Each structure stands twice: as C-alpha cells, then as structure tokens.
Amino acid sequence: MSTLNNEILDKAKTWLSPVFDEETQNAIRKDMADNPEDLQESFYKNLEFGTGGMRGIMGIGTNRINKYTLGKSTQGLSNYLKKAFPNEQCKAVIAYDCRHNSQSLAKVVADVFSANGIEVYLFEDLRTTPELSFAVNHLNCHCGIVLTASHNPPEYNGYKVYWQDGGQLVPPHDAAVIGMIDNLDYADIQFTANPDLIHMIGKEVDDVFIDAAVANGSTGATQDAKDNTTIVFTSLHGTSITAIPETLKRAGYTNVHIVEEQRVPDGSFPTVKSPNPEEPAALKMALELADKVNADIVIGTDPDSDRLGVAVRNDKNEMQLLNGNQTMLLMTDFLLKQWKAENKIKGKEFIATTIVSTPMLTNLAASYGVENKIVLTGFKWIAKLIKDHPELNFIGGGEESFGYMVGDFVRDKDAVTSTLLAVEIVAQAKASGSSAYQALIELYVKHGFYKEHLISLVKKGITGAQEIKQMMADARANPMTEINGSKVVKIDDYKLSITKNVTTGATQPLDIPKSNVLVYTTEDGSRVALRPSGTEPKIKYYMSVNLPLASAADFTETDAALDAKIAEIIKDLGM
C-alpha cells in the first residue's frame, strides 16, 4: 500500500475499538481484506458542512453518513447549545425524508440530543424540509435537524441543521459548532436516550403548517379560475406527497392528477434515474400524464420537497419545462405586482437571489423600486438576510437551482408554498385569457431577454476532489480574457473577496462571505461562473447571456440567437 493508504488504514483501525458496534467493526475488517479502494474512499477525509449542511454516501467511515458521524455532529451541536443557552431548557425538532435509513438515523439523533438533556420533538413519520423549518419557530425550538440528501442519488443521505429563526446554520454559529465537533472523539458521543425527553409530533404541526402555506401562497384566484385549472403533480417518490396534495385541496384546487407510479415514498426512486426536478427526464411521466388530461401545469418536487420543477403550456399549446431562473422570475414578478396593487411597497422591501442566478432579477426588482439583495448560493444566506434586517420586509426570493421561498414564515426553500403560488399564477393568467408562458415573454420584452445554461461535471472520490481543486486553481492563475468574442471586463473572486476591473486593474473588496466561486463578466453582459458544489462531487459552470427583445414576435429568433451564444461559450470553455 502507498503511504496515503497506510495513513487511511491506521485511521480505519481506530474504528475497530469497542466504541463502535460489532456490525461496524466487521464491515471494516471486510473492507480491509477485500475492498481497500472502498476503505480509502470511506476514510480519506471527514464529512464537512457545505451549502446544504452535511451530505454524503451512507456507509462506514469518517467520510460516510452513519450513526457515528451523525452522532458526533449531534454531540457537538448539543455541547454548543448548552454553552449558547446556559440557563434554558434547550429544545430541538427533528424531521426526516423518504431516504433509506432516514428514520433510523433520525432516532439516533433524537437519542443523542435527549442523552444530553435536550428536549426533542420527533416527527412520527417522514415530513418535508419546509415543514421542519416552520416547526422550529412554531415549537419555539433552539434548533432543528432534517435527515435528507435533497436530490442526490439513492446512496446518499444528509444532515441539515437549523437555528432558532428556522434558517440553516450560518456564521458565527456554524464555525463554533464545527469547532465543537472537531474537538470530540467518537467515544464522547452519548447514545443512551432519555425517553422522557422525546416527544412524537405529527398532524397537530402539519395542520398549522399547511394552513400557513395556503395563507402565503394564495393570491386571489377566483374559485372559477381554480376549477378551470388542471394540475399534474408528482412527488418523484418523495416526501411532498404528505403536504402538497392537501395544500392544493385546502386552497380550493380539486382538479389535481397525481402520477400514481411515483406516489409512494421510496428511497430507491425506482422510476427515475435521478429524483431531481432540474433534470427533464425526472418529469417524463408527469408530462405524459399532462398530455392525457390536457393539464395546464406540471409540478414535480425533489425528495425532501424544497425544490420544484414546473412545466406550463407554451404558445404552441405544448408543455414547456421552465428552468429555475424562469420560475423564479415569474413568481417574483407576480408577488411584486400583488404588493404594488395592494400599495404595500414603501421603500423598505426586498427580494433576494444568489450570485449564480440570473442578473435579470435585478432589472425586475428595480422596475418596482425594490432592492434585490444578492447572496452566496444556499438559502441559509437568504434566511440570514431576513434575520439581519428586521427593519425590512422580505417579499420572496429564489435561486437558479429550482428553489423558491414565499415570504418569511419558512426560512428555507419551500416547494409546498411555491407549488401553490405557481398554480395560482397559471390559474389567474388562464382566467384573463393569457398564460404564464406569455407572461414570461412579456418580462423578457420589458427587462431584456436573459437566458442561462448550466453544465455540471461530476468528479468523484479523492482524485475527483483533487481535480476540481486544480481546475479552480488554474482558472485563477490563467483567467479568461474573452468569452464568445466579448472582452472580459470584470472578475469577481469570492474566495479572495475581491472584484477586479480588468480594464483598469483596480480591485475592490466584495462585501459577502468568502466562497470558492469565480464569476467572469464581459462587455456584452455575458457571464460565466465557476463553482464547486458544496453537496455533490461536481464542479458547475453557470452561463448567462442576454439580448434585447423588441417584441413577443421576435422571441423565437432571439431565443435561437441566445442558444448560439451559449454554444459558443461552451466551445470557448473546451467542453
């Protein structure tokens, strides 16, 4: 074995102590004998908190999701809670999704919390991530945990941590918790539960959450408009089946067709290659059903119901998949129109999006006299904005990766409320003789036609992580000077926290937390961003191009021109 492998072998041997159960020890011995490559992947690093918490493949080892890595994280979090709130009875709420082992891992987390004297509210069965975020505030908890790997493949699971405001863990608490975890040994984990401190919860929280989703997502569609709207919904074998059908029903929508083959929660996701609504193939069965029932809208959600994919009828009466930027633009414009009509825009309102989402949202916000605050990728940063600016009113916000948040009653991506909002947009547009698709084109005419494209390169394991690191280093050492014939005029380096004017060479600090992201902007307003994923073994290339759109009649021609620009950028990137 190489030196690296010997180091990993020594690390793995520490898991052969009595601290770890017999099943774990036997699995490690087997990998030592038969699967050294698997052992290396399992132990070459520790799982880390990324943009969506801690996420990884399930299995034995420090680089895997298992009772010990989650137990250690929960022990560290317990220690921090008791330090942060020394004179309070700390409380935590725990939810889990449909993934394999989520229920048993949630019980491990509950046991460790209770063993440390922390009162626990544990959902009796799988629940959506937005309901967990809501429950933190509703139950006056100090923190919340949801066991989920979002849209990752079936072999993954994860651990998202929420703070008192219902938003995910952010500075300064995240670094402090990580410090607590890093200073622990696995022998420090207290696994012996105090059952008196664990309370099962269910319908009593569901009802309040769904009522809140209806109140925030309903925007005035008449009952006739609702009755005349045909909806196809798929949970993609995920958790949203517990909330979205009931939310639509309470809002007055009864013409809902569910993709039955994908109704039952199943962590294997048997009918899709990936349970990710960003992937068109994931919504194939829903689109087929939409054609059969002549649906007006298709909605598909990811396993924990924080992301949603949307399809609507286009000008050819065909179902058209929208990307995350398009859905975000439609929802934000709809909310802003509503706020303006109700005379609620007073100069203290804002929307929010991320550094890799469409720049068009800034144009849209400005047309209403509302600020668009831009943050790092991850809804925890949008939640932090809301917490940091209590003097301002948050209207809504989203990101290109199919997440949206309506108001601040939930402090994370919320596919439950956003589904209702999307349906309301379609229903009201149809009732007025228009369509959501036509509304989108009208936005392009008014604010400029922006089109985005994403390429994700998968780089798995140790070598993949090293390759991604080198790709980012090369991009910094040899920055692009021209993209599709347009000169690069600005480079934003969020790792170095500087923005550089390429023409003058002048630099200015970026007032945003550090992150390993590079963004190139050209003279013609095109943009390319490079970002390693915080939750998957991928490096992502985000492209944005734009052209003026004189009228709706020019849409097809301009759309083709933007596609051609994107194709040239992809060629420039050597892909």
Question: Nearest 5 degrees, angle CA 549-CA 406-CA 357?
Answer: 45
575 vs 568: CA distance, rounded Å: 10
- Cα 83–133–396 angle (5° rounding)? 120
**94 Rama class: left (phi>0) / alpha (psi -120 to 50) / beta:** beta
CA dihedral 394, 491, 51, 543 (to 10 degrees): 90
Query: What's the full length of the chain, in residues?
Result: 575
Between CA 457 and CA 439 the distance in angstroms is 33
| Residue among 417, 401, 416 at smallest CA distance from 128 | 416
Instruction: Write the CB contacts of 176 (distance below 8 Å, at least 6 apart in sequence).
Output: 80, 84
The secondary structure element, H or E, covering residue 14 is: none
Q: How far apart are the C-alpha atoms of 418 and 399, rounded to whole Å?
A: 13
Q: How far is CA 2 from the centre of its chain?
A: 38
Distance CA 393, CA 344 (A): 10
Q: How does strand 393-399 pair with strand 349-354?
A: parallel
Is residue 45 within 8 Å of 129, Cβ to Cβ?
no
The H helix count followed by the E strand count for the chain is: 18, 24
User: What's 435-483 look like in SS3?
Assistant: CHHHHHHHHHHHHCEEEEEEEEEECCHHHHHHHHHHHHHHHHHCCCCEE
Task: Determine contact, residues 96/106, Cβ cutoff 8 Å.
Answer: yes
Given a contact cutoff of 8 angstroms between Cβ atoms, the answer to whether 271 and 103 are in contact is no
Residue 130's alpha-carbon distances to 133, 328, 404, 412, 505, in angstroms, are 5, 17, 11, 6, 44
Measured CA to CA, the distance from residue 78 to residue 116 in angstroms comes to: 7
* 150 labelled catalytic: yes
Give the DSSP letter of residue 58.
Answer: B
Q: Are strands 231-234 and 256-258 parallel, antiparallel or unpaired?
A: parallel
CA distances from 19 to 15, 75, 182, 229, 415 (A): 8, 15, 17, 58, 41
DSSP 187: G
Which of 150, 418, 435, 515 is flagged as catalytic? 150
| Cross-strand bridge partners of residue 92 | 120, 143
Cβ–Cβ under 8 Å, residues 151 and 275: yes
Longest dimension (CA), the chain: 72
With the C-alpha atoms ordered 511, 481, 535, 1, is the resulting torsion angle positive or negative? negative
Residues that are catalytic: 150
